[in-house]
Structure 1
């Protein structure tokens, strides 16, 4: 089963969120409907997909998610959104 790294953005709070899933559309719906009460994304309900990157498996998606979150950089996330090929470079260096 394919897994995806995804990046969503809320204009309301001007924040990105990075996650992984096997169903991107369903996951965004969950974020926007606040089904997970303790979730970081409950602060907004206008999350839109900025990037969906197909990974070989869940481990690859989790690796990218952790890598991006460790960077703690909005500018880095914006760079990835504008140039998703960078994700392949990150994977090739692991």
Structure 2
């Protein structure tokens, strides 16, 4: 399953955001079921960022979120409130 957590980050907070997003991704990487992840920035809207991760299943992702709550807390005000988990329905390549 794919997890996409989007953030709206003011330019003045970019350095702080990238540091904390890396910490979240590092914590995710230490969790069971983690496949891969990345921190990405929109090429069209530089204040829009995404923390993208791939998991063996939704249960692994949910448990990882629980484990990462304290690390994720400082970025909560920047998080865009929307569903983050996506089930794969078709893949190629």
Shared fold (TM-score, shorter chain, > 0.5): no
TM-score of the pair, normalised by structure 2: 0.34
Higher helix share: 1
Q: Which has the higher contact order (CA 8 A, sep 6+)?
A: 2
TM-score of the pair, normalised by structure 1: 0.34
